[in-house]
Amino acid sequence: MTGTLINTGTIILGSSIGLLLKQGLPEKYKHIFFQAIGLFTIILGVKMALGMQSPLLVVFSLILGGFVGEWINIDKKTQSLGDKIKNRFKLKNEKFTEGFISGFLLFCMGSMAILGAIEEGFGKTSDILLTKSLMDGFSSLMLASALGIGVLFSAISVLIFQGGITLFILLFGKSIPTQMITELTAVGGFMLLALGISLLQIKHIKVINLLPALLFICLFWELKIVFF
């Protein structure tokens, strides 16, 4: 888990620097930072989504994942968790939960997070996650300067998410088809696109409620292999 640990550390470092910049920056610069992150997230999401090879599987995964997410009400539960963390540490940042969720989605939904964690699980190389660490360090700096300390706390979710994948592969893993990773990445791309739209305040989308789509795309892919 060397790559994940380093990745977590760079997000903490980048977020800390971003928080220092946030305190000294005029409001107009914070606003342009916020817009830049939103545009970057949209472009990244579109790039990831365009790589899909099975559009029907992706769209059904998003639909069913959204239904399940709304039924469970993941967004409300996450908001509640964010409020508890904020109250526990006596934080006053109004955008804490938004920063936490945005950081998690931005740092964990890409192909580099999934593929890098899988490679570490197979005991191969940490090169992908080390490269991602550098990118996330700069991204967390900009995001924290706009959304505050919630981005720093999202480093915990990166540790759990990427570390969980690595441990799962280490204990139970087998060769995972690259095509499945491609479709997972596409679903993550649509989620990042929705996040970018929310960040730019075009329309508020409960992106976190789409998380179950990641499980559905894996299920649909396995069913496709078995029956077709």
Contact 33, 146 (CB under 8 A): yes
Q: CA angle, 189 as apex, 186 and 192 as ends, to 5°?
A: 160
pTM for the whole structure: 0.79
Q: Give, for 93, the enclosing helix (H) or strand (E).
A: none
How far is the CA of 191 from the CAs of 58, 119, 206, in angstroms? 11, 24, 10
- Could you give the CA distance from residue 53 to residue 49 in angstroms, rounded to a whole number? 10
Q: What is the pLDDT of residue 112?
A: 82
- Could you give the CA distance from residue 1 to residue 159 in angstroms, rounded to a whole number? 9
Q: What is the pLDDT of residue 25?
A: 65
Q: Provide CB contacts within 8 A for 177, sequence distance 6+.
A: 221
Both tokens assigned to 59: 């769209």
pLDDT along the chain (228 residues), means of 10: 92 91 70 78 87 92 94 86 74 77 86 83 81 88 84 92 89 74 87 86 87 90 70
Contact 53, 179 (CB under 8 A): yes
Q: What is the pLDDT of residue 127?
A: 83
Q: What is the pLDDT of residue 58?
A: 93
Contact 191, 74 (CB under 8 A): no
Q: What is the pLDDT of residue 61?
A: 95
Contact 183, 50 (CB under 8 A): no
